[in-house]
């Protein structure tokens, strides 16, 4: 299976989010939100967006469960090639200067880990207010509701994309672009994969890779739902 990003609907909607943030007028605030369940492709899409910008033209950090305001800022400093400066206010100033000088948007992944921390969230707002560069927060389902409680930040959100389950057209695109060219997967099997995966990209790719491997092993070029039968596509837990 090939390693490349397929431009499915969620990816294109995210690109539109970024373009809207970058092209907004001065009265529109510039914080964006990308949210949706795990395995739907949020991180992959974010890295793809950053590649579109040129990797040096954006800052990307992911948050961890153990983060504090200090470790969060230190990670951004690290991305800028610098050590943290104390007191932390000086690190904030450094980041603001760099974001302003180089017009750098900031992407913050796994925001769920820090959304409960008032100080870190307020620091993100400070970074925004001092730079007005696009800041994109990326997190899971609950994130939108949890951010809505942080009025100051919430008021600055002007663009959001909720990642939706892949539809049949998306599954089709994954199969066409990622599988060995010689292998064709029947429409019914693609629909079966879509249903069984619940539209989760991670599971769709796992299933397609299994189908590809089995097709190669049995030297088949076309695999249908009938051929596949009820063989498992990924590990499923029966409740």
Ligand X SMILES: Nc1ncnc2c1ncn2[C@@H]1O[C@H](COP(=O)(O)OP(=O)(O)O)[C@@H](O)[C@H]1O
Please tell me whether residue 201 binds ligand X under the rule CB under 6 A: yes
Nearer to ligand X, 11 or 95 (CB): 11
**Number of chain positions touching ligand X (CB under 6 A):** 14
Give, to the nearest 10 degrees, the angle between helix 42-53 and helix 9-22: 50
Contact of 4 with 178, CB cutoff 8 Å: yes
Please tell me whether residue 8 binds ligand X under the rule CB under 6 A: yes
Residue closest to Mg ion when measured from CB atoms: 43
Please tell me whether residue 39 binds ligand X under the rule CB under 6 A: yes
Question: Any idea how long the chain is?
Answer: 239
3-state secondary structure of 121: helix
From residue 44 to residue 83, the character string flagging contacts with ligand X as x (rule: CB under 6 A) and all else as - is x---------------------------------------
* Spatial distance between the Cα atoms of 34 and 41, rounded to a whole number of angstroms: 11
Contact of 175 with 71, CB cutoff 8 Å: no
Nearer to Mg ion, 43 or 68 (CB): 43
Stretch that binds ligand X, among 41-49, 146-154, 181-189, 217-225 (CB under 6 A): 41-49
17: its two tokens? 């989010």
Query: 18 CB contacts (<8 Å, ≥6 apart)?
Result: 32, 49, 52, 53, 105, 134, 136
Please tell me whether residue 43 binds Mg ion under the rule CB under 5 A: yes
Which residues of the chain form contacts with ligand X (CB under 6 A)?
A: 5-6, 8, 11, 38-44, 201-202, 205
Which residues of the chain form contacts with Mg ion (CB under 5 A)?
A: 42-43
């Amino acid at each position: 299976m090939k390693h490349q990003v397929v431009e499915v609907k969620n990816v294109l909607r995210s690109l539109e989010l970024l373009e809207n943030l970058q092209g907004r007028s001065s009265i529109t605030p510039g914080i964006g939100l990308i949210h949706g369940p795990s395995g739907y492709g949020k991180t992959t899409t974010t890295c793809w967006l950053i590649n579109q910008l040129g990797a040096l033209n954006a800052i990307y950090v992911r948050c961890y469960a153990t983060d504090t305001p200090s470790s969060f800022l230190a990670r951004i400093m690290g991305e800028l090639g610098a050590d943290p400066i104390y007191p932390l206010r000086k690190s904030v100033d450094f980041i603001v200067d760099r974001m302003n000088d180089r017009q750098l948007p900031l992407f913050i992944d796994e925001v769920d880990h820090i959304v409960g921390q008032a100080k870190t969230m307020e620091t993100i707002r400070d970074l925004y207010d001092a730079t007005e560069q696009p800041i994109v927060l990326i997190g899971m389902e609950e994130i939108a509701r949890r951010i809505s409680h942080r009025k100051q930040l919430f008021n600055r959100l002007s663009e959001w994309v909720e990642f939706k389950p892949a539809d049949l057209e998306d599954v089709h695109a994954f199969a066409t672009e990622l599988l060995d060219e010689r292998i064709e997967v029947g429409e019914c099997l693609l629909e079966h994969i879509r249903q069984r995966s619940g539209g989760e990209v991670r599971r769709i790719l796992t299933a397609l890779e299994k189908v590809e491997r089995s097709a190669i092993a049995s030297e088949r070029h076309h695999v249908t739902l009938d051929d596949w039968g009820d063989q498992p596509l990924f590990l499923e837990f029966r409740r």
